[in-house]
Every structure is written in structure tokens, then in C-alpha cells.
Structure 1
Amino acid sequence: MNLDFTIIFKYMPYLMKAAGLTIELAVLGIALGILLGLLAALLKISHTPLRFIANFYIWLIRGTPLLVQLFLIYYGLPQFGVKLSAFASSILGLGINSGGYLAEVFRGGIEAIPVGQTEASLSLGMGKFLAMRRIILPQALRIALPALGNQFIISLKDSSLCSVITMSELLQTSQRFASVTFASTEFYTTAAAFYLIMTTVISVVLRSMEWRLAVENRTRGY
């Protein structure tokens, strides 16, 4: 078997553009996931009937594959009169999926904060919402940062599944060029290298953020 990776250089601009789209999908997807996950976490720890909706959402998302969720959004919603583009469907699918997992991450972070801090905030005249926003959530997000970073990496890799709904991200672009040039090994290896580089950079950035927060905590005496 003769491998010729020089063919990759001809298509490199297209692969880099597709890699940029992959990052965009992951960033927008995780941003939506943070909003949905935080909302679901707050509803789950509330003492209202809305916690059952949050529990159902978490149960449904964690119990079904992302691929099925993408198919339902892109091919299923048009049957109900809701037609979304492949880009919008990809972001919605990634966001809804990551939100189901981040909900438990945020819930664990919130419940890890000593209840005495909430009681002290209320004794100072803060309302529950203000205490949650100013005192509890900043600390909970710091605790949840490692798991949040892991979910971002997972979303970046899971974005490859968006190729099945005609999204021209990194994997589908590599598949298209591989089928034209018959250089499957070269293009799939290059795609794997792109994913590895992106996840490595994210890991380094997250590790740096965790180290800086740890230093701040030690300085403040936490």
C-alpha cells in the first residue's frame, strides 16, 4: 500500500475551513448546553413541580443517542411544520445533548457549596435569587469547570455526527475528498490529526484555567 500525504496540501484550505466550522459548532453547542444545563439544574434542585420536567429532560437526553436526537431534529421536526437548516439542527442537537449532561454537573457543583453560605447570604438581606447569582453559582461553576471542559471536548468530537444530516464539517469534508481521490487513509488520518490538535489545545487552555483558579483559591484561603 502506497500512501501519499502530499495530496492533502491541495485540499488543506478546505479542511481548515471545515475544522473552523467544527469548532464553531462545538462552541455554539456548548454555549446552548450551558444555558439548558444550568436551567435544568436549578429546576431539579427547586421544590416546585418543575423539577419533574428537569428530571424528564435529563433522563431522556442521557438515555438516547445523540445520533437519534439529530435525526429527530433535522428529519422529524419538518413533519410538524418546523424546518431547520443543517447548521441550526446541529447546534440545537449538540446543545440539547450536552445540556442533559451538564445539568448533573451543575447540580453537583451547586450542592457541593455548604448550605451555611446560603443561610449567611439570606441573613444579610439577599434574596434567594441574588444569593444564588452572586455567591453560589460563581463557586459552583469553578467546581464544575473540569467536567465542563470535558463536555466541551466531547461536543467537539461529537460534532462529527452532524455529517449525517448533511453538515459539511471536518469529517464530511474529509469523506467527500477521500471518495474523490481514493486516498481514504490519508484524509481520515489528517482528520484525526485535526481533532487531536483541537482537543489538545482545549485541554491545555482548561488546565491553565484550573491552575489559575487553584492559585486564586489558595491566595484567598479557600
Structure 2
Amino acid sequence: MELDFSVAWTYLPVMLEATLLTIMLALVTQTIGTSIGFVFALGRTSRFGVLRFAVWSYVWLFRGTPVLLHLFFVYYAAPLFGVTLDALPAAIIAMSLSSAAYNTEILRSGIQAVHKGQIEAAEAVGMRYGRIVRRVVAPQAIRIVIPPYMSNFISHTKNTSLASVITVPELMLTSQMVYSSTYRAIEILSVAGLIYLVLTSCLTGLQLWLERRTSYEARGMSRRRRRQFLGASDASVRMEA
């Protein structure tokens, strides 16, 4: 059988529409997972042992079980507890919980990489915990976690294809429906793979931009910091003179 990509071209608008749902699912679940993961990462570094153990147990459970199982459990087991969810909300909940477990450990590594002396110095000048996190911990942790975080984001984007098993009409399920009716599996799946490659390539480009943006060596001093530095240098010269 010869390849005929004209079929894929005919159904390309349908596949691109499904791609929008894939993008939405990836962005929403990663955003929720990052928010939960940041709070849990702070819990993992807490001085309270009970809180650390509770968060560790959550991470252990969700990192140790497949995303596919999370999807099945939320979609099929939730009705046993009186909660019935449509496919898309179930996928968002399941994939957000899974994303949160991975992001917890990624963000924890960045938080713990900040030297304790800086936190103690901030406490010594009277800064509250929330302000220490915003002004001292988070800016340094973000720079450290960008490579592992974006790598996880790329994997998470590809994992949205698993939502097809609970009938979420994202790119993979739509592709399956198209090749089931056209019997052109190779052509349709090739186009689907190309679309996923474009999505992940955009995320890779975003990672490189963020790394350059947060690299002090690459971007040097800001204009404000440069003016302050030059002003201080001029003042010291005048004092010596």
C-alpha cells in the first residue's frame, strides 16, 4: 500500500482543533500542578515532621503509580464515592495531581539549593516567612529548577495523549478516530507525531529563553544595578581623593 498524505491534509483542520484541546489540557494541568507542587515543596522543607511525612506520602504514591491509573481511578472510581465527572474534568484532576507530585520534588530541589545562611540573614533583619520565600528563596530557586521543570513539562505534554483512554477528544483520540475511518494509520499518526514534535520544540525553545533570561552571567547587570554600582564606585573614588 502506497502512502497517501492527502488524506491527512484533508483531516488536518480536525486534528489542529484537537491540538488546541491538547495544549489547553497541558497548560491547565501543569499550572495547577505547579501551584500545588510549590506549596507541597515548602511542606517538604518544613520543620514539622508530620507535614513532611504527609507530603512525602503523597509524592511517593503518585510518582510510584502510572498516570494511566490515576486517570482510570478518577474517571471510573469516583462515581463509587458519589462523584460523577465528565471525561475532561476527570483528566484535568488526575493529571494535575500527577503533575503536582513531580513538581513538588523539582521545586524542593531548588528551594533546598538556596543556602540556609541567606534565609537566616533575612530572618535576622525581621523579614516574615512569606516575604523571605518571595524575595530570597523563589528568585534563586527558579533559576535552578528551569531545566528539570521544563523537561518534566515536555513529558507532561506528551502524557496528555493518555487522556484518550477516558474519551477526552484530544489529538491522539482524534487521530485514532480519523485513521479508523480512513484506514490510513501511518499517514495520520505521522502528522500527529509531527504536531507533538512542534509542541515540544516550542517548549524546548522556551526553556532556552528562560535559561538565558535568568542567567546572570549571560545578561549581566540591569541598568538600575549598573547605575548604582557606578555611583558607588564614583563615591568611593571621591572619598579616597
TM-score, normalised on structure 2? Answer: 0.88
Task: Write the mapping of 1:39-118 to structure 2, written as runs, cut at 5 A.
Answer: 39-48=39-48, 49-118=50-119
Residue 22 of structure 2 is matched in structure 1 by 22
Instruction: List structure 1 runs of 4+ shifted beyond 4 angstroms.
Output: 215-218
Structure having the higher Rg: 2
Residue deviations 1:4-41 (CA, integer Å, cap 9, x gap): 00111211111001111101100001001101211211
- In structure 2, distance between residues paired with 1:125 and 1:27: 37
- In structure 1, distance between residues paired with 2:5 and 2:33: 37
1:170 has 2:171 as partner: yes
Q: 1:117 to 1:220 in 2, by over 3 A?
A: farther
- In structure 1, distance between residues paired with 2:80 and 2:215: 50
SS at match of 2:178: helix
Residue 235 of structure 2 is matched in structure 1 by none
- In structure 2, distance between residues paired with 1:183 and 1:44: 49
Instruction: Specify the code of the residue in structure 1 equivalent to 2:108.
Output: R
Q: Larger deviation: 124-133 or 190-199? A: 124-133
Whether the 8 Å CA contact 2:143–2:215 is kept in 1: the answer is no
Instruction: Specify the code of the residue in structure 2 equivalent to 1:37.
Output: G
Q: CA RMSD in A?
A: 1.4
Residue 123 of structure 2 is matched in structure 1 by 122
Structure 1 residues without counterparts, runs of 5 or longer: none
Instruction: Specify the code of the residue in structure 2 equivalent to 1:19.
Output: T
- In structure 1, distance between residues paired with 2:140 and 2:42: 15
TM-score, normalised on structure 1? Answer: 0.95
Q: Larger deviation: 165-174 or 34-43? A: 34-43
Residue 236 of structure 2 is matched in structure 1 by none
Q: Larger deviation: 85-94 or 65-74? A: 85-94
- In structure 1, distance between residues paired with 2:14 and 2:82: 34
1:129 CA displacement: 2.4
Paired positions, count: 221
Whether the 8 Å CA contact 2:106–2:145 is kept in 1: the answer is yes
